[in-house]
Structure 1
Amino acid sequence: MLRLVLAAPELQYVDKLSRYLRESEPRWRIATFTQEIALLRHLEERPEPELLLLHSSFIRELRAKADMGRWGDRIVALAEAEGEGEGAPEIAAYQPLSRIRAELTAFARGGKEKGGGSIEGASLLTVFSASGGCGKTALALNIARLAGERGKRVFYLNLEALNASDVLWRGGEPDSLSRLLYAMRARPDRGAEEWGRLRRNDERLRFDYLDAPDHPGERLAMSAEQLRELVAAIRSHGKYDLIVADPDCGCGDWHLELLNASDRVAWIVLDDVLSMRKTEKLVRHWRDKLPADRGHTAFVVNKYSGAMRNGWRLPGGEPAGRLPYIPQWKTVNDPEQWLASPVFGGAVDKLLDEWGFANSGAGSVGGAGRW
C-alpha cells in the first residue's frame, strides 16, 4: 500500500489522474488537493505520506511558507516543462496516465534517481488498426527491424489471436506465452527464469520475440490485468529499449489497456471507405478513454497511392504519415518480402525520425503528428 498526496491547481486534471490511479492501483491511498492551505493543513495533521506528487507551482509556494525538510526526500514534481521541479525529481504532467503510474511506482520502489530522467524499462510502441488487412504486422516488423538497425534493443510482441509469425521463424515452443503468463501468476519467483528460457532472438532482424501459439485461446482469454502484467514484466526486464506491440484489431478491455500503456500508438488506416468508417467509430467510442495529450496516437495511411480519395475526418487534420503501396505484396508467399522493400523501409525510417528515434543509444518516443 502506498500513501500518496497529489496536489495540482487544476481540478479537472487532479480528478482525472486520481480516478485513474485509484482504479489501476486499488491498494493506494490517495489524498488530493487543489489549494495550498488545505494541503499544508493535511500535512501537519495527518500521518506523513510516503510520496508527495506536487505540481511545480505548489513546490515553490510550500518552500516559501513551510519547512520542507520533513518531506523533501519524498517530493516528486509534476512538471509541465523540464527543469520546473525546483531540484526535485520530475514526472512530466502531460503524458499517458499509464506512464505517470509507472513512474510513480518506480519512485515508490526507489527505482528512479533524483533530478529527473526516465524510469528504467522499455518504451512501448503499439501498431494498431480498427480493421483487418491494413498491413499492421508488416509495419510492426519493419519498425522492429529498423529500430534494431539503429542500435535499439527491441522486443517484438505479437498479441494477435491468430498469430502467423511462426512462418518467419519455423519451429520453437508454441505455448510460450501461456507458460510465461502462468509462471508470472503462479510462480512469480520463477518468472524471470521462464522469461530467459522462452524468449528467442533473430540475429538477422535484430530483435527478440516469443514463439507464436498454435491455438488462439490464450489471446482470446487475455484480460486487461494480464496484459498489464506482461508489459510490466518485459519493461522491467532491463534488456530492451523498445517494445513493438502487434495486437489484432479488436476493441476489448485489454486492447484499450495496451493503447493506454503505450508511449506511442501508430494507428494504421487505409484510404478506403470501410477502413475509415470503422476507425471513426472506434475513435469516437474510445474518445474519453485514451490519453488526450499531444503525442500519443499517430494516424498513418498505409498502401498510399499518391492521392487521398476519401476525406480525412480523423484527429490531427491530416495523416501523421503515409506509407507507400507495394504491388509485390498483393500476393505474398514469404513474409520476408515485407522486410525487403527499400521504398517501404525508407518511409518507415522517416516515421522513426519524426517520432524521435536517434540512430544510437536508448530509444524514446516523441515528436509531432500526434493526437
Structure 2
Amino acid sequence: MIPARIVLAVQDSRYVEPLLNYAYGSSYGSALQVTAFTRMDSFLHYMSSGEVPNLVVGDAEMLESWLSRGDAPVPWLLLSEGDSPLSRMEDGSSTPKYQPLPQLLEVMIACCKRNGGSLEKQNAETTPVIGIVSPLGGSGKSTIAMNMAKQLGVLGLRVFYLNLETVNSSALFPSGSVGMEGSFSRLLYDMKASQELAPRTEVSITPYIVRHHSLKCDSFEPSFNVKEMTEMTLEDTSLLLTSLVSCHHYDAIVVDTEGYMGERIQAVLEQAELLIWVLLDDLISMHKCCVWMDQLELKNTALFGSMKKRSRFIVNRFTGQLVNSLPRKDIGIDDVLPYIPSWKQLHQEELLLSSPIYQREVLKLCQQLLDNSGIRPALAGGG
C-alpha cells in the first residue's frame, strides 16, 4: 500500500495536533501522509507551489479562501460544523469535524480511493534500487542523486531518497518535518536490537520515514552521528535496503553513497538494479575509477560481471568535449550532465535543486531510465 498525500488545513492547532499524533502513532501512519497548516498564508502558498495532494481536508474558512483562487482542481473534504455553502457543492465532500479519529481517517481514505488517488502500487513485485556511486569525492554525486529523486517524483513516481554518506549532504536541505530529529539513529538502533532476537528479519521502516518537501520524495532525517554511520555494516545496509524494498511503498529508491569502497557501498553494488557511476573529465577521476573497477574485478569476478551489466557511466560537469581517456576499454559513456558555472561559488543551497538547465538534463536522464527499465508511476496522473 502506498500512502495517500493529504493536506490538512485547520486554523485551530488544538484540533490538528491530536489528529496528527493519532494518525502517525497508529496503523493509519502507513496509509496517510498528512501535511498540516494552521496559517492561511502558508496553506495558500503551499497549494500554489507545492506538490499536488490526493486530497485537501479543511475547515470552511480555509477551503473557501483556497477555492476562490481558482487553482487547479484537487479533491477536497470539508470538516463541517454546521450548514455551509461548501457542503452543497458537488465537487467536494463533507464530514463532521468532531467525530472519533479512526472514523475520520477512514473517511479521508475513502475519499482518496473514490477520487482515484489511491493507494495500490501497480508493480508490487519489486522496487528498483538506483545506486549513485563515484570513485571520487566532490564529483557531484549527491547533487545528481537529489535532483534525480526530485525529477522522478515530478514524473509521478513514489520515490525514496536514501543517503548513506558518513556526513549527509542532504542535511543542507531541511525536510520540513517536525519531531523526527534523531529518527534515523533510532532506526539503526532498532535494527541492531531486532537482529539480536531474530537475525535477517526485515524491520518496519514506516515510523521513521519523513516527507521531504524540497526533494518531493520520502527520506529519513539525516543522522549527525558520524561514528554511528561508520559502524553501519554490510549486513545493516543490506537489511535496510531489503526492508525499504519489501514495504512496497515506492516505485524507486535512489541511494546516495560514499566516495570510497566501504561496506555500505558494497551492499549497494550487490543489491542495486541500476548503478550510475559519476565521473569527471579529469585524470584523477578516471584513474580512481580504473583502480576501483580493477580491484572489484580481482576481488569478486562474478559480482563484477553482474555489476557491469547494471551500470551506466555518466560524466558530470561536462563542457562539450571529453578530453581524458576513459578508465577502461570495456566501458563507455552513457550520458553527460552539464557544467553549471553559477555553482562555482555557491552560497545558496537551494540553487542546487533549481537550475533549469540541470533539471532539464536530469529529467531527460530519468525519462531514459523509465523507458529502459519499465518502471511506471504508481499513481496515475501523480506528480
- Name the TM-score, length of structure 1 as normaliser: 0.61
Contact 1:135/1:302 (<8 A) preserved: yes
How has the CA–CA distance of structure 1 residues 124 and 361 changed in structure 2, closer, same or farther, with 3 Å as cutoff? same
- For structure 1, the residue ranges without an aligned partner over 5 or more in a row are 1-116, 364-371
How has the CA–CA distance of structure 1 residues 148 and 318 changed in structure 2, closer, same or farther, with 3 Å as cutoff? same
1:344-363 residue CA offsets vs partner (Å, 9 max, x unmatched): 11211222232234795259
- The secondary structure found in structure 2 opposite 1:286 is helix
Contact 1:260/1:291 (<8 A) preserved: no
Q: List aligned pairs for 1:1-371, cutoff 5 A.
A: 120-169=125-174, 173-187=180-194, 195-287=205-297, 288=301, 290-293=303-306, 295-314=309-328, 316-357=330-371, 360-362=376-378
Deviation at 1:163, TM superposition (A): 1.0
The separation in 2 between residues aligned to 1:336 and 1:295, in whole angstroms, is 35
Deviation at 1:118, TM superposition (A): 7.0
Deviation at 1:140, TM superposition (A): 0.2
Deviation at 1:133, TM superposition (A): 0.8
Contact 2:137/2:259 (<8 A) preserved: yes
The separation in 2 between residues aligned to 1:322 and 1:300, in whole angstroms, is 5
How has the CA–CA distance of structure 1 residues 298 and 136 changed in structure 2, closer, same or farther, with 3 Å as cutoff? same
Contact 1:154/1:242 (<8 A) preserved: yes
Counterpart of 2:303, as a letter, is: L
The separation in 1 between residues aligned to 2:158 and 2:216, in whole angstroms, is 8
Q: For this pair of structures, how many residues does the alignment match?
A: 247
Contact 1:183/1:194 (<8 A) preserved: no
The separation in 2 between residues aligned to 1:206 and 1:230, in whole angstroms, is 21
Counterpart of 1:271, as a letter, is: D
How has the CA–CA distance of structure 1 residues 283 and 154 changed in structure 2, closer, same or farther, with 3 Å as cutoff? same
The separation in 1 between residues aligned to 2:346 and 2:237, in whole angstroms, is 31
Contact 1:136/1:268 (<8 A) preserved: yes
The separation in 1 between residues aligned to 2:211 and 2:256, in whole angstroms, is 17
Structure 1 vs Structure 2 CA RMSD: 2.8
**Which residue number in structure 1 is paired with residue 9 of structure 2?**
none
Relative contact order higher in (CA < 8 Å, ≥ 6 apart): 2
The separation in 1 between residues aligned to 2:375 and 2:130, in whole angstroms, is 17
1:178-200 residue CA offsets vs partner (Å, 9 max, x unmatched): 211222342479x9996333211
Contact 2:161/2:219 (<8 A) preserved: yes
Deviation at 1:318, TM superposition (A): 2.8
The separation in 1 between residues aligned to 2:237 and 2:309, in whole angstroms, is 22
Counterpart of 1:128, as a letter, is: V
